[in-house]
Chains A and B, each alone.
Chain A
Amino acid sequence: MLRRLILPVIALVLAYGFWVSPTFKDIAAGIAVFLFGMLCMEEGFKAFSGGGLERLLRSTTDRTWKSLSFGMLTTALMQSSSLVSVITISFLSAGLIGLAAGIGVIFGANLGTTTGAWIVAGFGLKVNISAYAMPLLVFGVLLLFQKRRGIKGAGWILVGLGFLFLGIHFMKEGFAGFSDQLDLTKYAVGGVAGLLLYTLFGAVATVIMQSSHATLLLIITALGAGQITYENALALAIGANVGTTITAVLGAVGAPVDGKRLAGAHLAFNIGTGLIALAFIEPFVMAVDAVSASIGIRPDDFTLKLAVFHTLFNGVGVLVFTPLITPMARVLTQTLKGERLTHDSARYLSEVSLEFPDVALTALRRETHHLFDNAFTIIAHGVNLKRADITAGRDLHELLHDRSDVIEIDIDQQYERMIKDIYSADMLFFTRAVSAKMPEEQANKLQGLWQANLDIVAAIKAAKHLRKNLLRYSRSPNLFIRKEYNRLRIRIGELLGDLSVLRQDEHDAVAMLSLDEIKVHLADSHRFAHQVVDSLIRDGSVTAQMATSLMNDSMYANEIMAHLLSMAEGLMAASIEADEHAPDLSLTPEEVQAMVDEMHSGNLDVMHEDRSQ
C-alpha cells in the first residue's frame, strides 16, 4: 500500500514545486537530465560487454588488489557504481568470479565513485560545462545512427556524458537562481544533531533518486551556491554513501543468494565506513584541511574540500575493510545460505546475467553443464553403471559377460527432482536472452545451448525406455542376449566417460575436434553390434522375441548416444571463438563413414582383433 503511494506523492510534490518555483524546476530537471545521462552511459558500456569479457574478468580479479583496482577503474570510467554492482552480481551468479573477488570489486567501486565528486567540484562548477555538453550530444547522436554495435555504444556514452554535463549546468543555474529567493543556510543545524539529521537527509535523498552520484551532485552544487553549510554537506555526503547501500539491499531482495551476500558486504562496508566518518568527523575535517593545503586547494573552496573528504573517508573504509574481505566472505557464506530444496534447481542463472550477452551465454553454458552432470548420473544408473566406475576410467569391457548388478532408480522421479526445474529455468532463460538484443555470434551459441538442453532431456527419456528390457536381459541366463545388452551398457558408459574427460579439458578447438573420434567409435561399434545381432538371429542363439527387443533397444541406445553427442557439440560450440577453424577440420559424416568402412575392410583389422569374444 505504502509502496503504491510513494510515486503519486513524489509526483504531486514535484508538480507543486514546479508550480510555485521556476528555479526548483531547473534543479529537478538538472537531476532528471543527469540521471538520464547515467542511463545512456550504462547503455553504452553494455555494448562493449560482448567478447573476451570472461577472460578479462578472470585475469583482473584473481587477486584482491586486482579486484579492488578493477572496481575502482570501471566505476571511475563508467561513473556508475550501480552498473558495476549489477555487473558484479551477474558475474558472481554466473560463477565467473568468487564472492571474495566480488566484494573486492564492490569496495573498489566505492572508491571509484569518489571521482564523480572531483569531476563535478573541480570541473563542473568551475567552467561553463554546457559548452562541452552540446558538441558531445551532437557527436553522440551522429554515432547512434551508425550500424556497428561498438560505434553505437560510443554514441550512447557521448550522449550520456553530454546529458551529465547538461544536468550539472541546469542544477548550477537552478541553485544560482534559488539563492536570490531563499537562503537555505538559515535551516542549517550544527553539532551532533545536525550531523545525524543531515546524514539521514543524504540517505533518504539517495534512496529516492536511486543514485549517490546524483545526491553528491546536488550537495556539491548546493554547496557551491552557498545554500548549505560545509559541515552539513559533509554529513549529507556520508548519508549518500549509506543511502546507496539501501538501494543495493532493495535490489538484492529478489536476487540469488550470491547477490544477497554481495549486498551484505556492501551494507557492512558502507555502514561501517559511515560510522567511522561520523565518529571521527573532527580528525577527518582536519585531515581534509591538511590534504587540501598540500595539494593547493584554497581554504574557502568548500566544494573541492568536500571531494577530498569523500575520497578520504571512502579510502579509509577500503583500508580498514580490505583485510576483512576473506573472513567477511566466509561469514556471509555461512550465514546467508541458499534454500534447501528437495529438487535441484538452477545455480548460475539470474535476472542480471541477462543484461550482458557474454555473461548470459556463460551462465547458460554452466547451467547446461550442471544439467548434464545430473543427467549423467540418471543415465548411468539407468543402465546399471556406477558413476564412479565410469569417471575413474575402469575398463567397462570387463562387464561384458557378467550378470549386471541392478541399481535401483526411478527415472521419472529422478527426472522430476534433478532435471525438470533446471531444464525449465534454462528454457525460460534462453527465451528471455534471445528476445533481448544481442550479437549474432552469441545468439547462435545460445541456440546451440538450447538444443543441448533438449538433447539431454531426450537422452534421459531414451534411457527410460531402454531400462525396461535392459533390467531383464542384462541378467538373463542366455549368455548371448546378456552380452549384447551389456555391450549397449558399455557403449553408453564409454561415451559418458569420454564426455566427462572432454569437459575437464580446455574448451579449445582441439577439444571440439575430439568429438570426431567419438563419432567414429560410435559408428564403428554400431556397425559391429548390427552384424552381431544379424548372426545371432541367423544362428538361432536368441529367440525372435529377444531379437526384436534387442533391435528396438539398440535404437534407444543409439538415440541416447546421438543426443549426448549433439549436446556435447552444442556445449563445445558455445565455448570456442567464432573464427576458430575447428568446424573446417572436423570430419564430415561421409568421412566418418569412410573411416569406419576402412576399419571394417581390413586396413585396420588389427583393431578388431578378438573383438567378437
Chain B
Amino acid sequence: MKTTKLIDKFQKLISKGPEETPTKKLCKTIKALKDKQKDLESRLKRTEGKHARQRLRQKIQVLKAQRRKGVELYRSLKAAVKH
C-alpha cells in the first residue's frame, strides 16, 4: 500500500470514526423513501375523497422520481469508490 493511501485511510479513520459512510446514508434514505411510498400506496387504497386521492398520487409520483435519482446516485458513488 502506498504511503499516501495509508495516510488517506488513517485520516478517514480519524475524521469519520464509526460514522456511516455516504453510501450507507444514501441507502438508508432510499429505503425510507420506499417505506413512505408503500405507506402512501396503502393509504391510497383506503382513501375515497377525490382531492385526497389526487394528492396521494402526486406524492407517490414524486417519491418514485426521488428514488430513481437516489439509485442513480448510489450507482455513481459505488463506481467512484471502485475506481
Query: What is the CA–CA distance of A170 and B66 in the complex, to the nearest angstrom?
Result: 65
Establish whether residues B69 and A509, one from each chain, have CB atoms under 8 Å apart when the complex forms. no
Q: Which of B32-69 contact A (CB under 8 A)?
A: 32-33, 36, 49-52, 54-55, 57-59, 61-63, 65-66, 69
Task: Please indicate the chain B residues that have their CB under 8 angstroms from the CB of A517 in the complex.
Answer: 58-59, 62-63
A595→B69 CA distance, assembly (Å): 14
CB distance from B13 to the nearest CB of A (A): 15
Query: B49 to A395, Cβ gap below 8 A?
Result: yes
Q: Collect the chain B residues with CB atoms within 8 Å of residue A587's CB.
A: 62, 65-66, 69
Contact A585 B70 (CB under 8 A): yes
Check A395–B52 contact: CB distance below 8 A.
Answer: yes
Partner of A509, one of B29, B51, B57: B29
Which of A581, A599, A604, A609 interacts with B29 by CB under 8 Å? A581
B18 at the interface (CB under 8 A from A): no
Contact flags A492-529 to B (C-beta < 8 A → 1, else 0): 00000000000000001110010011001100100000
Q: Which of B29, B49, B58 is in CB contact (< 8 Å) with A585? A: B29
Does the CB pair B66–A580 fall under 8 Å? no
Verify if A339 is at the interface (C-beta below 8 Å from B).
no
Contact of A520 among B29, B36, B52, B62 (CB under 8 A): B62
Cα distance, A599 to B49, chains bound together (Å): 19
A461 to chain B minimum Cβ distance, whole angstroms, is 28
Residue of A nearest to B54 (CB): A607
A residues near B62, Cβ cutoff 8 Å: 516-517, 520, 587, 595
Contact B32 A510, beta carbon cutoff 8 Å: yes
Q: Any chain B CB within 8 A of the CB of A591?
A: yes
* Chain B, residue nearest A397 (CB): B51
- Chain B residues with CB under 8 A of A607: 54, 57-58
Within the assembled complex, what's the spacing in Å between the Cα atoms of A521 and B52? 12
Interface magnitude class on chain A: 20 to 34
Docked-complex contact A579 and B66, CB < 8 angstroms:
no
B70 close to A510 (CB less than 8 A):
no
**By the criterion CB–CB under 8 Å, are B73 and A584 in contact?**
yes
- Distance in Å: Cβ of B34 to nearest Cβ of chain A: 10
Give Cα distance in the complex from A607 to B57, angstroms: 7
Size class of the contact patch on chain B:
20 to 34
CB distance A581 to B73 under 8 Å?
yes
Bound-state Cα–Cα, A513 to B69, Å: 12
Answer yes or no: A391 CB below 8 A from chain B CBs.
Answer: no
Roughly how many angstroms separate A95 CA and B35 CA in the complex, as a whole number?
Answer: 32
CA distance A604 to B55 in the complex (A): 12
Please give, as numbers and ranges, the residues of chain A lying within 8 Å of B32 by CB-CB distance: 508-510
Kindly list chain B residues whose C-beta atoms are within 8 Å of the C-beta of A434: none
A428: Cβ under 8 A from any B Cβ: no
**A606 interface contact, C-beta 8 A:** yes
B51 CB, min distance to chain A CBs, angstroms: 5
The residue in chain A whose Cβ has the minimal distance to the Cβ of B73 is A584
Rounded to whole angstroms, the CA-CA distance of A604 and B25 in the bound complex is: 32
B73 lies within 8 A of A524 (CB): no
Complex interface: chain A residues within 8 A of B65 (CB): 516, 587, 591, 595
Taking CB atoms and an 8 Å cut-off, the chain A residues in 580-603 that contact chain B are 580-582, 584-587, 591, 595, 599
State in angstroms the CA–CA spacing of A610 and B50 once bound together: 9
A113–B65 Cα distance when bound, in Å, is 56
Identify which of residues 1-44 in chain B touch chain A, using a CB-to-CB cut-off of 8 Å.
Answer: 22, 25-26, 29, 32-33, 36
Point out the residues of chain B lying under 8 angstroms from A509, CB to CB. Answer: 29, 32
**Interface pair A604/B36, CB less than 8 Å apart:** no
- Given the interface contacts A581-B26, A609-B50, does A604 sit within 8 Å of B66 by beta carbon? no
Q: Name A586's closest neighbour in chain B (CB-CB).
A: B66
Which residue numbers of B lie inside 8 Å of A, CB to CB?
A: 22, 25-26, 29, 32-33, 36, 49-52, 54-55, 57-59, 61-63, 65-66, 69-70, 73
Contacts A509-B32, A517-B58, A586-B66 known; 9 new A-B pairs at CB < 8 A:
A509-B29, A513-B33, A581-B25, A585-B66, A587-B62, A595-B65, A604-B61, A607-B54, A611-B54
21 contacts between A and B (CB under 8 A): A395-B51, A395-B52, A397-B50, A517-B58, A580-B29, A581-B29, A581-B70, A581-B73, A582-B29, A585-B29, A585-B33, A585-B70, A585-B73, A587-B65, A587-B66, A587-B69, A595-B62, A599-B58, A604-B57, A604-B61, A610-B50
